A = this chain, B = another copy of it.
Amino acid sequence: MSTKGVLLQHVDNKPLREKILDTLREAIVSGDFKPGHPLLENDLAAQLGVSRAPLREAFQILASEGLVETIPYKGTIVRHLSRQDIEELYTLRCVLEQFAIRRVIAAGHIEDVATLRGIYEEMLAAAVQGNLKAVNEIDRHFHDTLIALSQHHLLTETWSTVTLRVRQVMALRNRRNSDLTQIAYNHVPIIEAVARGSESEAMDLIEKHVVTSLDLIVELWDDGAEASTEETAP
């Protein structure tokens, strides 16, 4: 007989490398670990209370994601972010998002639009409350959802590594965007273009959306000292 009705949480038996990975990834994309920051294996292992083996396995994954850089026999550091890196990040992001939208429009599921509208409502609510952090999270969620709706796993995977680094850039950015409701409003034309199925219009809007964010960041990006951790807005 099985233990009916009683529902229990799964005990957490993820391998250490995955827990370590989550921890380090968060530290990097949140800007806690700044570009150039050395990741010493002994120190980190001691700090996290693990041995170096799973730590090193996590390093390989972080390196594949482009978050860190390992030079053999020298060490691993958080990757530097040049102006060019950021431009590449945003231009590729744009291409991926445009591709996703084309697929969403082509699929033509009306409920997709409803999903996006729902997220927009949340974002607007958070914006009028002046909750910057929430707006940021919901904005990320909006774009992640757009990608997910494309029903393209490979795209989704590629997207997730790109956005990780975009998050990092935003966390390191040295100025804060203020007009939260405007950020929310910006999403309306995109949703409506998808709703109407007007592909070329949606393409232009995404491009503008992304290029604007890029300009805001690159404008005053200091290639030498990528730093200053404040909450910033998309």
Q: Which residues of A contact B (CB under 8 A)?
A: 13-15, 17-18, 53, 56-58, 60-61, 63-66, 72-73, 84-85, 88-89, 91-92, 95-96, 99, 152-155, 157-158, 162
* CB–CB B154/A72 < 8 A: no
* CB–CB A91/B57 < 8 A: no
* CB–CB A64/B66 < 8 A: no
Minimum C-beta distance from A64 to chain B (A): 3
Instruction: Give the distance in Å from the alpha carbon of A65 to the alpha carbon of B61 in the complex.
Output: 10
**B53, B73, B95: the one within 8 Å of A53 (CB):** B53
* CB–CB A92/B154 < 8 A: yes
List the B side residues contacting A17 at CB < 8 Å. 60
Minimum C-beta distance from A45 to chain B (A): 14
The residue on B at minimum CB distance from A64 is: B64
* CB–CB A92/B152 < 8 A: yes
List the B side residues contacting A91 at CB < 8 Å. 152
Minimum C-beta distance from A49 to chain B (A): 20
Instruction: Give the distance in Å from the alpha carbon of A14 to the alpha carbon of B70 in the complex.
Output: 12
List the B side residues contacting A157 at CB < 8 Å. 66
* CB–CB B88/A155 < 8 A: yes
Instruction: Give the distance in Å from the alpha carbon of A121 to the alpha carbon of B92 in the complex.
Output: 31
Minimum C-beta distance from A25 to chain B (A): 13
**B15, B92, B154: the one within 8 Å of A155 (CB):** B92
List the B side residues contacting A96 at CB < 8 Å. 95
Instruction: Give the distance in Å from the alpha carbon of A206 to the alpha carbon of B66 in the complex.
Output: 28
Show 24 residue pairs from A and B whose CB-CB distance is below 8 angstroms, ordered by the A residue.
A14-B72, A15-B72, A15-B73, A17-B60, A53-B56, A56-B57, A57-B57, A57-B60, A60-B60, A61-B61, A61-B64, A64-B64, A66-B154, A66-B157, A85-B154, A88-B152, A88-B153, A88-B155, A89-B154, A92-B99, A92-B155, A95-B95, A95-B96, A154-B162
List the B side residues contacting A13 at CB < 8 Å. 72-73
Minimum C-beta distance from A146 to chain B (A): 15
List the B side residues contacting A60 at CB < 8 Å. 17, 57-58, 60-61, 64
Instruction: Give the distance in Å from the alpha carbon of A76 to the alpha carbon of B31 in the complex.
Output: 33
List 12 additional contacts besides A88-B152, A89-B154, A95-B96; criterion CB under 8 Å. A15-B72, A17-B60, A18-B72, A57-B57, A58-B60, A61-B64, A64-B64, A66-B157, A85-B153, A88-B154, A88-B155, A91-B152
